[in-house]
Structure 1
């Protein structure tokens, strides 16, 4: 329940709605309590008329007025219920928006490591399930809990006024029922957590399969995927069977006990009425009050059930929010380096901050400098980079060469700030990248990945992703620079053409040129090209490479190249071997040293099948 209270504290801007719902709950409880007294009064008037102690005319006049008051109370109650329900629905919608937005905001700022290990579908399903269960419970709670509690309290007070032992007996029922329910719910939540795990895994796989449908079909794995999906959900049936059997058997036992208790209470009222302690009207009032008391008790089963689902969902929700954000992880990493010998002012705390602009250093420092950088993807794991040192001058083109899995893409990821370095230092225009605000750091870098990574939407939206406020003229200029304007203007809707999820309506070359246009529009001083042409056919590769050549003019470029012809056009080459820098030099210099680059040149000249195989190990087309 503490999770639910945390949710309520999490959204203080909903308090006005909660106060309004509470007020409507008070009114609904008051109106509900009026009805037994009206019916009781009518019963007494009728008994008096039947006994001959009142005239029929007076009795009809009295019960007519009572019926009119009853109608007025019911109409007022209907209005209050409608207003309270409206506020409850509005509160639930706002709650869903707030919780979803905070979840998404936190996800957007989690370290890349989190997404390396989490399945996309599980992240999405966790959001949908958690938010739905939380909002459903809070909506029900807001619309019913206040009325239930106030009605119960009022019933006990009024019953005590008539005969206090009856109120005491009635009061004992509530805590005993809640205690039994709480004892039942502990085991229920364990089963619910197991079901959530199975559903999250199945939903995660579902999302993966939908995104990779061509692969599934190409290998005829439809039946296998369906079998695995059914198996996961099939396990939830077995868990639900045990869970539901336990819950409903205990619920039935609670209800039977409750029925016995209320049967005894009714008998007491009947006997005391027969003995003359209560009038017929009093009996009617007490019986209705006890009926009103039963309804909240029985409703508690649903309230507890929905609360348990909400608690189970909130655990997953808050587990995500408890994950350390990217900025915190960077600060911790910097502090960790300080502990291991980096210079640090005593007592200072290193936190991400908005750093200076890249040209505040007077234009003398290189665009990028790696100094003794060591990195492992897992804390305490095997190092991918070991003491990497190199720099990229302003306006210089530097290529990274090394075996596949040798750390080339890791270098680019570290430069973008996707992971904090384990040791060492990365500088961007003379500033420590670890101390720069991530927004400032990434504003200095444009990236063209091997996969274009487009979004569903229009061509314009994807190009303008680098700057949503860009004018149409700037977007078109970026497309022209990327040699994309020709095919874009040939679309029926031009730049407003919808391209489908991940740009699947476009060819590989078209997608990549839009990605290049996006990088052009960003106009950042540093450019990363991570095998940007490796997945293209020859014609598309020529067009994209021409666009990249234009894009690199005047920029400091770090290139993970796919072809030796591209590498030969750079200013310097950095070769990596075993996670360390092996050589640094111009293409001409390294061609004579006998190192990795020279070996690649000889393999390309050999042209044999074995040579092409070895080239592929370095990510180079033969």
Structure 2
């Protein structure tokens, strides 16, 4: 396993992004130190060339000797030749670390997203999550790749200029110190405003990503109702927010950059004039070459400080992106399985013991479920019916562990599910939702998803029992045919039968069916119902259905009303009782 997949992202803290970055880089200390040494060697001509230039000027002014020029030229060429191998080494070490850090953040985000609760994902926009994994990690990489070399160059040039000046004309070090308060004042003026503007811009980009995601998913509805202009206007308003926030940020960075450049250019000109005046008036024993040296070094020094300060917007953007990543890493709504009992086998007996559930922000009176008492035997088929909002889907999500009861407990084979590692429980569970989603890949890959190497015969049997072999046989490449993103090249009935094959190949002990046939035409529905009959045989099955005709054969039907069990019985028993189920049946029959 690579370092990027195991590095502890718990170090990421939204309140301290810079400190978090330092913690993330701790495992790479040796590599980064070597890269810094390589950079110092390859960049040394920048701060040594003014010394060489000054020596050449003084040789020319003094009239020789010429041989000294040859030696100085040879030394300069040797110094320049070192740049190539040292630069390649630096790129390998420094940029390699940047790429590993990016992979570490992406893998950590992906892993964290997989552990966060279904509640978190239902509240979050998929487009915003994608923006965090793609755009925000890219900003952190850019911080490394663009700000890193520029800052290192500025630091070494700064250090070289100060050292060389101290050796040649130490009296001018006092003049150099003028750059420190100017740089500090500009940085402090920029810092807080930049952080606020970067956060505003990031939030606008996330809102825009969410709007684009909505637009893409709603295109069939938009087109069907002739609402193209409305949809475009909705996205355009969000795009205007991005434009406005981005321009505000750009103007801030532009004003800051211009103020920095002017300030340091004025200091540079002043230093050159002061050095020339000191030589003319005899205040200091400065040679013509040293005048050139001082002017060059002050220009280099102010350029280095300007470069460091100009990196602040990039640094601010990277820190804001790290804060954005930390929002996911620090999200507390996690499904916690660590340290709980692993499940090696499931028989399928389920008991709901005084179970109640209410969503966050609701009180006990408006909870989704109240005092549910239900025993489900191994291999029994239980159907849940009732009006919208009665708690049917909540019931399935509780059994699946996507939601945890706020009251009571759920027992699986006599064991409290609160004490079980639900990841191991779900190996024995399959779900067929109302609209099954397939991924971009072949039919075979979709059926065997997550199972590793599955024998062809096992896949074929699953497709046969799901009434899906005819789909495979009609395809040009058989089960190697790529189904398209979200199964776009298949009809709804075909997607549903592939999803049933995916459930069958796992041979689950517990089966959850959530409106598995409600979106299909009559012919597709019958084929799917036949496949479901095969799938349900010998398994504990929980079915949510609006069409009562699809659940006649259920062992028991549970009628829910306002989050409570109103009736329980078989189809015939409930019709004979003349209660809520009989009323629903009459309405649908009519």
User: If the length of structure 1 is used for normalisation, what is the TM-score?
Assistant: 0.87
Deviation at 1:562, TM superposition (A): 3.9
Task: State how far apart, in whole Å, the 2-side matches of 1:512 and 1:308 are.
Answer: 48
Q: Deviations over 1:67-94 (max 9, x none)?
A: 1211111121243234323433322222
Q: Deviations over 1:357-396 (max 9, x none)?
A: 345xxx6xx6111111111121444300011111210111
**2:378 counterpart SS class:** coil
State which drifts further: 127-136 or 204-213.
204-213
1:376 to 358, 365, 368: 358
Task: State how far apart, in whole Å, the 2-side matches of 1:11 and 1:431 are.
Answer: 44
**2:409 counterpart SS class:** strand
Kindly tell me: are residues 469 and 13 of structure 1, through their superposed partners in 2, closer, same or farther at Cα, counting changes over 3 Å?
Answer: farther
Superposed CA RMSD in Å reads 2.1
Task: State how far apart, in whole Å, the 2-side matches of 1:81 and 1:108 are.
Answer: 40
Aligned to 1:291: 299
Deviation at 1:242, TM superposition (A): 3.5
The reply to whether residue 454 of structure 1 matches residue 438 of structure 2 is yes
Task: State how far apart, in whole Å, the 1-side matches of 2:535 and 2:56 are.
Answer: 89
Task: State how far apart, in whole Å, the 2-side matches of 1:452 and 1:170 are.
Answer: 69
Deviation at 1:516, TM superposition (A): 0.2
2:344 to 349, 353, 357: 357
Residue 120 of structure 2 contacts residue 333 of structure 2 at CA under 8 Å; is this kept in 1?
no
2:271 to 262, 265, 274: 265
2:327 to 307, 316, 319: 319
Aligned to 1:114: 120
Task: State how far apart, in whole Å, the 1-side matches of 2:542 and 2:242 are.
Answer: 50
Residue 410 of structure 2 contacts residue 416 of structure 2 at CA under 8 Å; is this kept in 1?
yes
Aligned to 1:337: none
Residue 36 of structure 1 contacts residue 285 of structure 1 at CA under 8 Å; is this kept in 2?
yes
Aligned to 1:571: 555
Task: State how far apart, in whole Å, the 1-side matches of 2:73 and 2:158 are.
Answer: 25
**2:177 counterpart SS class:** helix
Task: State how far apart, in whole Å, the 1-side matches of 2:455 and 2:188 are.
Answer: 60
Q: Deviations over 1:179-217 (max 9, x none)?
A: 322322311222222222222112212122223322221
2:29 to 15, 19, 22: 15
2:144 to 138, 147, 166: 138
Deviation at 1:432, TM superposition (A): 1.2
Deviation at 1:604, TM superposition (A): 4.4
Aligned to 1:218: 224
The reply to whether residue 307 of structure 1 matches residue 289 of structure 2 is no
Task: State how far apart, in whole Å, the 2-side matches of 1:566 and 1:228 are.
Answer: 40
Task: State how far apart, in whole Å, the 2-side matches of 1:584 and 1:460 are.
Answer: 40
Q: Deviations over 1:420-465 (max 9, x none)?
A: 1111101111111121112112112111111111112111111111
Kindly tell me: are residues 392 and 94 of structure 1, through their superposed partners in 2, closer, same or farther at Cα, counting changes over 3 Å?
Answer: same
Aligned to 1:617: none
Aligned to 2:54: 40
Task: State how far apart, in whole Å, the 1-side matches of 2:550 and 2:263 are.
Answer: 82
**2:448 counterpart SS class:** helix
The reply to whether residue 427 of structure 1 matches residue 411 of structure 2 is yes
Task: State how far apart, in whole Å, the 2-side matches of 1:456 and 1:179 are.
Answer: 54
Task: State how far apart, in whole Å, the 1-side matches of 2:267 and 2:395 are.
Answer: 73
Paired residues, number: 572
User: If the length of structure 2 is used for normalisation, what is the TM-score?
Assistant: 0.92
Structure 1 unaligned regions, length at least 5 = 331-350, 608-622
Deviation at 1:303, TM superposition (A): 1.1
Kindly tell me: are residues 397 and 2 of structure 1, through their superposed partners in 2, closer, same or farther at Cα, counting changes over 3 Å?
Answer: closer
Deviation at 1:596, TM superposition (A): 2.0
**2:383 counterpart SS class:** strand
Task: State how far apart, in whole Å, the 2-side matches of 1:468 and 1:213 are.
Answer: 36
Task: State how far apart, in whole Å, the 2-side matches of 1:317 and 1:416 are.
Answer: 29
Kindly tell me: are residues 178 and 571 of structure 1, through their superposed partners in 2, closer, same or farther at Cα, counting changes over 3 Å?
Answer: same
The reply to whether residue 478 of structure 1 matches residue 462 of structure 2 is yes
The reply to whether residue 155 of structure 1 matches residue 139 of structure 2 is no
State which drifts further: 478-487 or 17-26.
17-26
Task: State how far apart, in whole Å, the 1-side matches of 2:333 and 2:26 are.
Answer: 23
Deviation at 1:547, TM superposition (A): 0.6
Task: State how far apart, in whole Å, the 2-side matches of 1:469 and 1:602 are.
Answer: 50
Structure 2 unaligned regions, length at least 5 = 1-14
Residue 22 of structure 1 contacts residue 142 of structure 1 at CA under 8 Å; is this kept in 2?
no
**1:426 counterpart SS class:** strand
Task: State how far apart, in whole Å, the 2-side matches of 1:604 and 1:72 are.
Answer: 91
1:412 to 396, 413, 418: 396
Deviation at 1:233, TM superposition (A): 2.0
Kindly tell me: are residues 41 and 165 of structure 1, through their superposed partners in 2, closer, same or farther at Cα, counting changes over 3 Å?
Answer: closer
Kindly tell me: are residues 184 and 216 of structure 1, through their superposed partners in 2, closer, same or farther at Cα, counting changes over 3 Å?
Answer: same
Residue 131 of structure 1 contacts residue 313 of structure 1 at CA under 8 Å; is this kept in 2?
yes
The reply to whether residue 596 of structure 1 matches residue 583 of structure 2 is no
Q: Deviations over 1:95-131 (max 9, x none)?
A: 2211111111111111111111211112112332211
Aligned to 1:611: none
Kindly tell me: are residues 474 and 179 of structure 1, through their superposed partners in 2, closer, same or farther at Cα, counting changes over 3 Å?
Answer: farther
Kindly tell me: are residues 11 and 490 of structure 1, through their superposed partners in 2, closer, same or farther at Cα, counting changes over 3 Å?
Answer: farther
Task: State how far apart, in whole Å, the 2-side matches of 1:458 and 1:312 are.
Answer: 39
State which drifts further: 163-172 or 107-116.
163-172
Aligned to 2:6: none
1:249 to 240, 248, 255: 255
Deviation at 1:486, TM superposition (A): 1.5
Task: State how far apart, in whole Å, the 1-side matches of 2:391 and 2:145 are.
Answer: 51
Q: Deviations over 1:588-617 (max 9, x none)?
A: 322222222222333345x2xxxxxxxxxx
Deviation at 1:407, TM superposition (A): 0.5
Kindly tell me: are residues 27 and 373 of structure 1, through their superposed partners in 2, closer, same or farther at Cα, counting changes over 3 Å?
Answer: same
- Which segments of structure 1 move beyond 4 Å, counting only runs of 4 or more? none
Task: State how far apart, in whole Å, the 2-side matches of 1:188 and 1:112 are.
Answer: 35
Q: Deviations over 1:525-562 (max 9, x none)?
A: 01111111111111111111111101111101111134
State which drifts further: 526-535 or 280-289.
280-289
Residue 179 of structure 2 contacts residue 302 of structure 2 at CA under 8 Å; is this kept in 1?
no
